[in-house]
Chains A and B, each alone.
Chain A
Amino acid sequence: MRANLTNFSTRGGYVDQDADDLALVTRCRGGDTAAFEALVERYQRVLFTVALRMLGDYDAAGDAAQNAFVKAYQKLETFDPTRRFFSWIYRILVNECLNARRDHLPHEPLAPDLAAEGTPADLFETEERRSRVQAAILALPMEYREVIVLRHFTELSYEEIGETLHVPAKTVKSRLHTARGRLAGMLRDLDARP
């Protein structure tokens, strides 16, 4: 078993990928519901973050992430053990996000995670800036949005993103470059927090 295959950051509070995902999946397939709970605990934060950045809506992100877990459980027998669990459930989540976006357009992404410290003016400015960044992410075509979200909010390597998206690592780099260029264009007038 390999440990810490991904570079999910502990700095940001992401969940580290442990080597025993496959063991947990095997137990789940055998009917051990508690094993699935361990997978939920492990991936809830990173999947919720992905959904939040994909959708820009806190409630919709919660629903999408929850649906993704439930569908993953229901389809667990289709999971290919030679692949990474995150890559598999990520595809399920993306489908949920696409469904959610078809159902309703995102509104202001006000959420607990967007809270900031400082004076009311600082808070307003920070929120305004975050809203703009989030809106810029949402304005990206899906193929670019995915690489931005996966690279910046799950901190997967290029190779891992490629595996997740079923594209070569060099395609990931290329898309990421384009995506960042587009974001830079959209956010040119926005000052980053000092």
Chain B
Amino acid sequence: MIDHEADHHVSQLLDELGPGEPPAGFARNVMARVISTRHATTERTVPFKKEGIAMTRKAMWGLAAAAAITLAVFAIKGFPPVGRGTEGTIGAAKKYQAPQIADKDVVLGDVSAQQFLQSDTFARLLKDPASLKLLSDAHFVQQLSDSALASALKNPDLAAALRPYGPNCSTCNFEFLAALQKPSFAKAVQDPQFLSAVQSPAFAAALKNPEFLAALDDPAVAAALQKQDLQAALKHPALAAALKSPELAAALRPYGPICHGYCMNQLLAALQDPSFARALQNPQVFAALQNTAFAQALSDTRLGAALQSQAFQQALNSSGFFAALRDARFAQALARSH
């Protein structure tokens, strides 16, 4: 037994020891090791031998096939370098060289299955819990094998835009994967017209911002994006030409994806605003967007300023406004003022 006085004595002595203070830079060092671990290619092996626990060998090969499809699609245009230079995976990669994956399972184009399966990219993909979960989803795999998506992903600008969200990205991969998992996004991606629209450089640039992806989660925005009228409008050559205008770019910069942080937040706030979403769903808006004169007018710096006004926001919801925009006389007036 320990008496009260002795117990108090022990407490005093222990209190005197007190807490320890970690070495300076402790957290930074931990994170450096975590990041290097994340990027390492040889530290973890896939638990093939754990029969019946996590995943059977058959399921593992199914996943490998799915992963191959995914990364093959991503690799079509310059995704993370694959192949030579990834010798670190040779030991483990031998496991993946068995011929279970048939050509029909792996849509690799001009990239060989063996090369891909031995790649650093593939090894990293298998280590990413989010990727594994996503790749286990039959619907997602089906999406990836969709020829329209593959075609869209061949766009160099889009590929460049997606690169930050690729398997080489330690922090942002999750955001991209999370966006892909959203039903609304998946639905939109399967639409050929949408796929065509997303090939625009502007959309590709927007994809660089994870917050933009978050905006896609908004049901109203997602619904609007799926409207064929909008997709057609986005593809309209005149609108595309207008969007290339330096003046318009300057005017829209406060809301544009090239502006990060505060500015981008404004754009996202606008996108998520129900009134904006409603405006996008207005057929008249789409019709107006496809109007050549309107597209040309967008090139005007003064209009760019006007776009930022509250009055314009209100006008967007006015049917008369869009009727006027389609009017040839209005276009002429715009031309005169220009």
Binding site for B on A (CB under 8 A): 12-14, 27, 29-34, 36-37, 40-41, 44-46, 48-49, 51-53, 58, 61-62, 65-66, 69-70, 73-74, 76-77, 111-113, 126, 129-130, 133-134, 148, 152-153, 177, 180-181, 183-184, 187-188, 190, 192-193
Contact = CB atoms under 8 A, between A and B. Distances in A.
B2 A177 contact: yes
B2 A180 contact: yes
B118 to A, nearest CB: 22
Interface string B10-29: 11111111111111001101
Contact of B10 (A37, A65, A112, A184): A184
Nearest to B1: A181
25 contacts: A12-B19, A13-B19, A30-B178, A31-B129, A31-B173, A33-B170, A37-B31, A40-B27, A45-B21, A48-B22, A49-B19, A61-B20, A62-B22, A65-B22, A66-B29, A69-B30, A70-B37, A77-B129, A113-B19, A113-B20, A130-B16, A153-B14, A180-B2, A180-B10, A184-B2
Contacts of A152: 11, 14-15
A31 B171 contact: yes
A13 B19 CA distance: 8
Interface in B24-46: 26-27, 29-31, 33-35, 37-38, 43-44
Contacts of A130: 16-17
Contacts of A27: 174
Interface of B: 1-2, 6-7, 9-23, 26-27, 29-31, 33-35, 37-38, 43-44, 128-130, 170-171, 173-174, 177-178
A31 B130 contact: yes
Contacts of A148: 14
B37 A73 contact: yes
A62 B190 CA distance: 51
A112 B21 contact: yes
Nearest to B3: A184
A133 B27 contact: no
